[in-house]
Amino acid sequence: MDEIGIDPVRLKALTVEGRKKIVDSLFAHAGEADAQQTLTDPKGYVAPPLDRIRANEPYLHNGNVPTLWHLMNSDDRPAVWRPVAPRMDEDKVGLTIEQASQIAVSSNDRVFGRSYFDTRKFGKSGDGHRFSDALSKSEKQEVLEYLKTF
Ligand code: HEM
């Protein structure tokens, strides 16, 4: 978690004891062999397989990264954004978004407010997974093009 630097809230949301109770409950199919393999003390998030990753937007466990381009270009990730039409951004691979400096909403327009993703909120941090910072601009684009072929 220290190395990847992504938002830890979901990981910390359950205690080891709480996870053990879930494993023993119907929610984990108690009694079946695979229930015993559930981790009760995970140290981080699972790095998921990247096949068909283009269809898994928005990215990372809390969905704070709208496109693979934003994943590869960490400094350009939006602090506040919302999806707009057309839904898919084929170039950046993910959601077409509108960025905002703050949520343009009045107190009685909650539905509109909820259409925004605000990375400044608890559990919604857009930090971390900055491994592509080590790549040049053209190398980032090459990885992005490669991910499109999955
Ligand atoms: C340039 C190299 C890399 C690329 C292109 C890449 C790509 C990705 C993508 C696209 C995701 C999002 C998956 C999804 O939301 O479904 C992801 C998640 C993840 N990656 Fe990487 N990755 C890279 C390097 C690394 C490295 C070096 C590590 C470990 C040291 C790592 C660990 C993880 C983890 C733990 C997640 C899950 C994070 C979460 O759910 O919030 N990745 N990666």
**Two tokens at 144?**
């992005």
Ligand 1 atom with the smallest distance to the CA of 6 is 41
Q: How far is the CA of 38 from the centre of ligand 1 (A)?
A: 21
| pLDDT single digits (tens) 38-63 | 788 999 999 999 999 999 999 999 99
Q: What Rg value do the Cα atoms of the chain yield, rounded?
A: 18
Using 50, 70 and 90 to split pLDDT, how confident is the model at 6?
A: very high
> What residue ranges line ligand 1, CB within 6 angstroms?
3-4, 6, 44-45, 47-48, 50, 53, 56, 59-61, 68, 71, 129, 131-132, 143
| pLDDT single digits (tens) 17-42 | 999 898 888 877 655 665 457 788 99
User: In the prediction, which pLDDT does 100 show?
Assistant: 87
Q: How far apart are CA 49 and CA 69, in angstroms?
A: 18
> Is residue 146 over pLDDT 70?
yes
**Two tokens at 135?**
């790549």
Burial class (CB in 10 A: 0-12, 13-18, 19+), 66: buried
Q: What is the largest CA-CA distance in the chain?
A: 51
Contacts of 104 (CB under 8 A, 6+ apart): none
Contacts of 64 (CB under 8 A, 6+ apart): 7, 58, 77, 117, 119, 124, 125, 126
pTM recorded for the entire structure: 0.91
**Residue whose CA is closest, atom 25 of ligand 1?**
131
Q: How far apart are CA 94 and CA 58, in angstroms?
A: 7
Q: How far is the CA of 118 from the centre of ligand 1 (A)?
A: 21
Helix (H), strand (E) at residue 41:
none
> Is residue 93 over pLDDT 90?
yes
